[in-house]
């Protein structure tokens, strides 16, 4: 079996026809080589009509499935789990219609997992782009790309060590290429508990993964995600339920957090042959350490006493886009940060950068007149 036939991409969509059309048009343009299963939980019938024109997108092997409306997270989880149960390939990855995967990154994932049977998931860098000034449009003349730091691999021998490390340096595994049986099992667990909180949804998928096995991350172009579309699930959730602190005050939080803790602890107990109660205490202890800096930052915001650095950043961001001072001050600020410590931070991928050639095809597609 060729590598192209080892991976299926599950594209979950819901009533964002312009973004879905953008995704399928670009995939067709680059002859996306992997099987695509489109799981539609929306009401808008226009995209179904468009995708029925298979000759229009003849460079992609895709299947469209209409699901009941994603009125709740439970229905979304069920839709994704059902789609995964239909996958016939060895590996699977879940994406959304504001994502652009790099073919080479996905091929590297398939090659790596095929050659290293002890790894259960793989991803490269997850970078971003933003369309200005309106972040909620699929195309535009001004597109900025941002390169993020590469995530660390999680390769510790024991489940206990991996969970502890993951809490200390949390980065989600949502967009990783998985062994299909592992990813399906994760979503079946999510369906079992039916979390109403998107924070715990993301956390449990990631921690179920590292509890079960080792995960490889590499510093290469893998995925581009659009920042801040108003219709994105994270933004909608934040507007409805508030920040981390607000969501912890919701009545269902206590029960759902217990379910989160228990599901992870059960895997630790099984993998490391330790007492279940001991594993539960470990998850709670490490979660507290993870949570403290998040809450401290939010409390600082509630007190209305931002640091001098935050005030300066807000002033710079408030400058008009065509003001040359914004670009100069932003560059100076980045240089100052880089001189003060060795921390790797998100940085713009400028057209003058030698690595811009990697994002040039997406840039040309997003800024061209003809689509």
Domain boundaries, the chain: 3-240, 306-340
CA–CA separation, 229 and 243 (whole Å) = 18
Q: What is the DSSP letter of 154?
A: B
Which pLDDT score is estimated for 315? 67
Which pLDDT score is estimated for 316? 63
CA–CA separation, 54 and 56 (whole Å) = 5
Distance of CA 165 to the CA centre of its chain: 19
Closest CA to 70 of 190, 213, 303, 233: 233
Specify the residue for token string 């990855």. Answer: 93
Which pLDDT score is estimated for 245? 64
pLDDT in tens, 278-317: 999 999 999 999 988 887 776 666 656 666 666 666 666 6
DSSP states of 72-109: SHHHHHHHHHHHHHT--SSEEEEEETTEEE-HHHHHHH
| Helix (H), strand (E) counts: the chain | 14, 10
Which pLDDT score is estimated for 134? 83
Specify the residue for token string 């590996």. Answer: 91
CATH architecture of 3-240: Alpha-Beta Complex (3.90)
pLDDT in tens, 358-369: 999 999 999 986
If the chain, 371 residues long, is cut into consecutive pieces of 10 residues, what is the mean pLDDT of each piece? 85 95 97 98 94 94 96 92 98 96 98 98 97 88 95 96 96 96 96 84 94 98 86 57 66 87 97 97 95 77 63 64 64 62 80 96 89 55
């Amino acid at each position: 079996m060729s590598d192209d036939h080892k991976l299926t991409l599950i594209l979950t969509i819901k009533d964002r026809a312009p973004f879905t059309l953008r995704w399928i048009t670009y995939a067709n343009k680059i002859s996306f080589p992997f099987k695509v299963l489109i799981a539609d939980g929306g009401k808008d019938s226009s995209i179904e009509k468009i995708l029925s024109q298979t000759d229009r997108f003849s460079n992609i092997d895709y299947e469209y499935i209409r699901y009941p409306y994603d009125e709740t997270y439970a229905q979304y989880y069920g839709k994704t789990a059902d789609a995964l149960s239909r996958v016939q390939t060895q590996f699977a990855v879940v994406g959304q219609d504001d994502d652009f995967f790099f073919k080479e990154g996905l091929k590297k994932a398939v090659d790596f997992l095929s050659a290293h049977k002890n790894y259960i998931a793989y991803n490269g860098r997850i970078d971003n782009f933003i369309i200005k000034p309106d972040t909620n449009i699929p195309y535009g003349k001004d597109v900025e790309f941002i390169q993020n730091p590469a995530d660390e691999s999680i390769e510790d021998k024991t489940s206990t060590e991996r969970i502890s490390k993951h809490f200390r340096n949390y980065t989600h595994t949502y967009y990783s290429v998985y062994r299909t049986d592992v990813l399906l099992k994760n979503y079946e667990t999510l369906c079992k508990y039916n979390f109403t909180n998107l924070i715990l949804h993301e956390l449990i998928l990631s921690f179920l993964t590292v509890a079960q096995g080792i995960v490889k991350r590499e510093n290469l172009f893998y995925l581009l995600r659009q920042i801040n579309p108003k219709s994105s699930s994270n933004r909608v959730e934040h507007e409805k339920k508030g920040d981390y602190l607000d969501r912890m005050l919701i009545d269902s939080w206590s029960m759902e957090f217990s379910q989160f803790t228990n599901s992870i602890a059960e895997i630790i107990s099984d993998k490391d042959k330790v007492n279940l109660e001991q594993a539960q205490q470990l998850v709670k202890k490490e979660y507290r350490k993870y949570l403290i800096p998040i809450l401290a930052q939010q409390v600082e915001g509630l007190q209305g006493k931002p640091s001098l650095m935050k005030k300066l950043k807000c002033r710079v961001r408030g400058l008009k886009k065509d003001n040359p001072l914004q670009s100069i001050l932003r560059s100076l600020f980045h240089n100052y940060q880089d001189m003060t410590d060795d921390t790797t931070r998100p940085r713009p991928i400028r057209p003058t950068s030698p690595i811009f050639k990697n994002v040039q095809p997406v840039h040309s597609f997003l800024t061209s007149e003809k689509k």
